[in-house]
Amino acid sequence: MKNEKMKYLKNDKKNSKLLRTEIFFSPFLVLIPFIVGSYFIIDWYNRGFVDNQSGVLGSLIIGLIIIIGNIIFDIPFVKSIIRQMKSK
């Protein structure tokens, strides 16, 4: 089992290219869902809360699902990339 993990952590050119791609892609992976989720929440606030329309509650729910999902799945991804960068 330990040898299988070490095979993945070997520093060859393919893994370093993949890691570099993940590092450069991670800001988009984290920021884009926050922007989209914030857009849905702001849309709900402007149309649903300020204008008092009850039909746009779905915008709030979709925005919260996007932001909470982003926090749950992307934060451990970013932590693992930071840990991998510190180990080099």
The band of 74, judged by pLDDT with boundaries at 50, 70 and 90, is: confident
Each residue's pLDDT tens digit, 9-48: 555 565 666 667 777 888 888 899 999 999 999 999 998 8
Q: How many CB atoms lie within 10 A of CB 41?
A: 19
Q: Could you state, in order of their start, the residue ranges of all structural domains in the chain?
A: 17-87
Q: Residue 32: its pLDDT value, please? A: 93
- C-alpha distances (whole Å) from 86 to each of 17, 22, 25 are 17, 15, 18
- How much is the pTM? 0.68
> CA–CA separation, 84 vs 63, rounded Å?
31
Q: Are 17 and 36 in contact (CB under 8 A)?
A: no
**For 49-60, what is each residue's pLDDT tens digit?**
888 887 788 899
